[in-house]
Amino acid sequence: MQVNERDWIPDLNPLPVTDRAFLDRYYRQGMYTYLTEPRSLDMMITSRGCPFDCSFCFKVERAYRFRSVDSVMAEFDVLKSRGVRAVHIMDDAFTANKKRCFALADALIGGKYRFRRKVRSRVNVVDEELLRKLKACGVRQIVYGIESGSQRVLDSMNKRTTVELNERAIKLTNKVGIFCTADIMIGMPAETLETLEETRQFLKRNRLILRRSPTFTLFPARKSTRI
């Protein structure tokens, strides 16, 4: 497997906002939509890296860097000017820094941005206060990396969460009125028919919709690189 060297950018703020001029006709045609969001849609990234270390993850960058509130708002202004009404924030760890989440949410509320947003989150970094703030700023869907309904499998992948934390996050998200979906990882080395059944029962018990259920795949070992 060929691994190319990559530049590592410690400060994301000097990077320019993506030029989306060539997408205007596709916005007008309604080409970019989503099953749960049938309106003009686009994606953005407000941070890079993840401070956690799940063993299955193919993303090897652990240095968590995030854009300033002003930088993110500048990109929202561009999206707003082009008629985009829904935004998927594709950060690996959007909610990892709670203080920053509140700052972004307050800026979005104060600026009266009418976007419907979707974000990704870990279950161990959310609480009711944060979820209510996210809803107030337009977040309508959260994708959690649930990964498994078996504690043995969660421990084997160094997820640093518990089945109880998974259930707590789902209940809180439902309580505040945000649509909740999940990713599940199938086939970790600790997986058995019994752990698969635990996951099935977990999904059934929590009436959880799966967004994605990838199968664990081994890749050749390589040295860690920066993204």
E-strand stretches of the chain:
41-44, 47-48, 65-66, 86-89, 116-121, 139-147, 179-184, 209-212
Q: Which CATH topology does 30-53+62-212 take?
A: pyruvate-formate lyase- activating enzyme (3.80.30)
Beta-bridge partner residues of 37: 34
Q: Please report the pLDDT score of residue 51 as a whole number.
A: 87
Among 16-20, 76-80, 170-174, where is mean pLDDT lowest?
A: 16-20
Q: What is the mean pLDDT of residues 192-210?
A: 92
pLDDT mean across residues, the chain: 87
pLDDT at residue 175 tops 50: yes
Q: What is the mean pLDDT of residues 152-172?
A: 96
Longest dimension (CA), the chain: 52
128 residue type, one letter: E
Per-domain residue ranges of the chain: 30-53+62-212
Alpha helices in 56-95 (DSSP H): 69-81
User: Does this model's pTM top 0.95?
Assistant: no
